[in-house]
């Protein structure tokens, strides 16, 4: 499933009718866009939010709770993302959006969300995946929807898909195969450290290690981590932590200095930080290439640990207990 990532980016495209609705909503003037979703289905929204952080002319907010903030009114477009279509937090937030007469798009493969087709513009995606493996579909659809709402050109995922396929073939023969990286993680708790558009990539990596390899992982963001977490990366600690710095070719001068200095300080304290970067033609390709690479690492780590990367027993148990 993970190796199919590049192809999944082009699997579902928004049709002309949906594009026309988005353009009309954009022309009428939007208050903002709220993207509702949990877990594997929320990551796409976090990527869209990070990508548009500086360029967006309206707020883009990811909602990972049951409720919506009071400022989300009928001028806000909402995008409900749920693979199963049955996630209770997403459905609750969806109901709030419906009560407030927000235009609602839903990206789902089925469930209750699919049955809400009277008031909702549904983008149906194929079944049979784990939600987290459907990330490339969620992301390409959500980004194109928000681009349409913003009245800007839609990202062409065909080109990015080809470039990721080429990268995938190269990693198999490189010195640092995903398997070799997974071996480096063995026995450690990785902390993925990102900045700007690579912060959601760090979060995705943490979640993939948790869900696929069934082991501890955390994430943090520079500059914020320089004001708190840095105090815990000291020689005198009882944990086996592995800092993994996600480095971007697009860091501005101050962020680059912070990343470099933080890495050196951690080294001086006896940690062995990994610096991970991947060549790319722009920020978007960089996000997706790093995501694919780290997704592969998480599956390799599952294999090394002898666990099933697909099952999510604890998530299912909890959902059942909540019924």
Q: Give the span between the Cα atoms of 82 and 70, in whole angstroms.
A: 23
CB of 32 or CB of 40, closer to ligand F6R = 40
Q: How far apart are CA 156 and CA 135, in angstroms?
A: 17
Q: Are 3 and 28 in contact (CB under 8 A)?
A: no
For the CB of residue 312, give the shortest distance to ligand F6R in the complex, in Å: 5
* C-beta closer to ligand F6R: residue 131 or 178: 131
Looking at beta carbons only, is 82 or 280 nearer to ligand F6R? 82
Shorter beta-carbon distance to ligand F6R: residue 24 or 317: 317
Closest CA to 79 of 138, 151, 157, 26: 138
Give the footprint of ligand F6R on this chain (CB under 6 A): 38-41, 82-84, 87, 90, 130-132, 211, 312, 315
Minimum distance of ligand F6R from residue 310's CB (angstroms) = 8
Helix extents (H) in the chain: 5-8, 16-28, 43-52, 88-99, 111-114, 135-150, 157-171, 178-185, 199-212, 253-268, 283-305, 313-322
The structure tokens listed for 73 are 């009114």
Query: For residues 262 and 298, which CB has a smaller minimum distance to ligand F6R in the complex?
Result: 298
Q: Could you tell me the smallest distance in angstroms from the CB atom of residue 147 to ligand F6R?
A: 23
**What are φ and ψ of residue 90, in 5° steps?**
-65, -40
Secondary structure letter of residue 181 according to DSSP: H
Q: Minimum distance from CB of 78 to ligand F6R (Å)? A: 15
Least distance between ligand F6R and beta carbon 21 (Å): 23
Strand pairing category for 189-194 and 241-246: parallel
Which residues are marked as active site? 211, 227, 319
Shortest CA distance to 196 belongs to which of 132, 265, 93, 283? 283
């Amino acid at each position: 499933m993970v190796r199919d990532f590049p192809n999944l980016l082009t699997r579902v495209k928004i049709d002309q009718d949906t594009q026309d609705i988005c353009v009309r909503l954009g022309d009428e003037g939007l208050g903002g866009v709220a993207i509702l979703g949990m877990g594997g289905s929320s990551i796409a929204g976090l990527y869209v939010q990070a990508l548009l952080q500086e360029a967006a002319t309206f707020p883009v907010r990811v909602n990972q709770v049951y409720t919506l903030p009071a400022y989300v009114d009928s001028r806000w477009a909402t995008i409900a993302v749920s693979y199963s279509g049955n996630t209770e937090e997403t459905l609750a937030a969806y109901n709030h959006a419906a009560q407030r007469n927000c235009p609602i798009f839903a990206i789902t493969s089925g469930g209750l969300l699919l049955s809400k087709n009277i008031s909702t513009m549904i983008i149906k995606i194929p079944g049979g995946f784990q939600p987290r493996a459907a990330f490339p579909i969620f992301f390409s659809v959500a980004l194109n929807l928000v681009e349409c709402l913003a009245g800007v050109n839609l990202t062409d995922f065909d080109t990015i898909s080809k470039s990721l396929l080429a990268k995938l073939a190269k990693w198999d023969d490189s010195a640092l195969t995903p398997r070799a990286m997974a071996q480096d993680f063995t026995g450690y708790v990785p902390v993925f450290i990102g900045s700007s558009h690579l912060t959601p990539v760090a979060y995705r990596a943490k979640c993939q290690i948790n869900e696929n390899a069934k082991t501890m992982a955390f994430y943090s963001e520079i500059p914020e981590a320089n004001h708190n977490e840095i105090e815990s990366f000291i020689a005198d600690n009882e944990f086996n932590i592995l800092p993994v710095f996600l480095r971007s070719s697009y860091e501005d001068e101050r962020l680059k200095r912070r990343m470099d200095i933080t890495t050196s300080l951690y080294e001086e304290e006896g940690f062995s930080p990994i610096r991970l970067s991947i060549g790319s033609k722009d920020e978007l390709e960089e996000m997706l290439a790093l995501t694919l690479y780290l997704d592969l690492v998480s599956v390799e780590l599952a294999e090394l640990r002898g666990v099933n990367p697909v099952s999510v027993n604890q998530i299912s148990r909890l959902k059942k207990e909540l019924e």
